[in-house]
Amino acid sequence: MESLQTRLHRQLEPTAWPGDGVSVINKLVLALVSLSLLVAIFETEPYIRTAAPDTLLALKAFFAVTFTFEYLMRLWAAGAMPQYAGLRGKWRYFWTPISALDFTAAAFLWLEILSPIHGTLGVLFRLARILRIFSLVRNSKWSRALRLMGSAIKARYIELILSLCLAVIALALSATALYLVEKDIQPDAFGSVPRSMWWAVATLSTVGYGDVYPITALGKVIAGISALTAIAIVGIPAGIMAAAFSDAFQKFRNQDSAAQK
C-alpha cells in the first residue's frame, strides 16, 4: 500500500502528477495564490485600507498560515523523491529555486503582517507571487502551450526586431517633424524631440490621449500623414505576434491529436 507521503507528493509536485492538467490540491493552491494577488492589488487602494483594515489583516493572516502549512507539506512530501529523502535531502530541497520561491513568498506574508512594508519594495514582493502561478502549472498543457509560444516567437526574432526598428524609426521621424514645425508655438509639448516623442507614441499607437496635438495647419497635415502611414508600420509587430501565437497553437493541436492516437 502507498504511503501518505507518496500520495501527497503526487498531489503537490506538478511533475509527479500522473493525470493531465493540474492536481486537485494544486488547483486549490492556484486559486488561493490568485486570491492573495487580488487582495494585494486591492490593498494598495487607500479607501479600502482605511475602510476594512481588520478584514485585510484577517485575510493576510489566513494566507500566511495556509501558505506556511502548504510549504511544510511540500517540504515533507519532497522526501518521497530519493534525492530529497532524509534531513540532508530536505536541506537540499530547501535550496532548490522553486522551494526558495515558495519559502520567500510565505516569509514575506508574515513580514507584511508583523511590519507592513508599503512602497515599491512591498509591491514588488507581492507581485513576485505571479511566478508561483507559473511554477504550479509547469507540467500542464498550459505550460506546454506557453513553451510552444516562446519558441514560435524565438523563430521570428529577426522579423520582430526589424519591425520594431521600423516602428522606432517611424516614431523618431514623426517626432522630429512635429518638433521642427511646432517647437516655437507649443514649447511645452513639442519643444524638443524627446518631448515630441510622447505625442508620437500616443499618436502612432492610436491611443491619442489628447493632452498634446498639433495646432498649426502644417503640423496637422504632417500629423495626419504620419499617423495614417505609420499606423500600418506600428501594427506589424502585433501581426507577427498574432501569427506566432497561431503557429504555436497549430503545433499544440497537432501534438495533442498525435498523442491521442
State yes or no: residue 258 binds its own copies (CB under 8 A): no
Give the span between the Cα atoms of 237 and 155, in whole angstroms.
14
State yes or no: residue 19 binds its own copies (CB under 8 A): no
Cell digits of residue 180: 521642427
User: Which stretch in 5-13, 59-67, 83-91, 176-184 sits in contact with its own copies by CB under 8 A?
Assistant: 176-184
Contact 137, 22 (CB under 8 A): yes
State yes or no: residue 81 binds its own copies (CB under 8 A): no
Q: Which is nearer to its own copies, 42 or 103 (CB)?
A: 42
Q: Which is nearer to its own copies, 17 or 199 (CB)?
A: 199
Residue closest to 78 by CA, chosen among 26, 134, 22, 5:
5
Residues in 91-120 that interact with its own copies by CB under 8 A: 120
State yes or no: residue 240 binds its own copies (CB under 8 A): yes
Contact 196, 175 (CB under 8 A): yes
Output the smallest distance, CB 62 to its own copies, in A.
21
202, 216, 247, 251: which one binds its own copies (CB under 8 A): 202
Contact 200, 179 (CB under 8 A): no
Three-class SS state of 110: helix
Q: Which is nearer to its own copies, 6 or 216 (CB)?
A: 216
Please list, in sequence order, all residues whose beta carbon lies within 8 angstroms of the beta carbon of residue 220, skipping any fewer than 6 positions away. 214
Within 13 A of 158's CA, how many CA atoms are on the CB side?
A: 1
State yes or no: residue 180 binds its own copies (CB under 8 A): yes
Q: Which is nearer to its own copies, 32 or 172 (CB)?
A: 172
State yes or no: residue 142 binds its own copies (CB under 8 A): yes
Give the span between the Cα atoms of 9 and 4, in whole angstroms.
8
Output the smallest distance, CB 240 to its own copies, in A.
7
132, 179, 189, 222: which one binds its own copies (CB under 8 A): 179
Residue closest to 136 by CA, chosen among 28, 244, 47, 230:
28
Contact 94, 87 (CB under 8 A): no
10, 90, 92, 220: which one binds its own copies (CB under 8 A): 220
Phi first, then psi, for residue 208 (nearest 5°) are 60, 65
Cell digits of residue 10: 503526487
> Which residues here bind its own copies, judged by CB under 8 A?
41-42, 44-48, 120, 123, 127, 130, 141-142, 145-146, 149, 156, 158-159, 162-163, 167, 169, 172-173, 176, 179-180, 191-195, 197-198, 201-203, 205-211, 213, 220, 223-224, 227-228, 231-243, 245-246, 249, 252
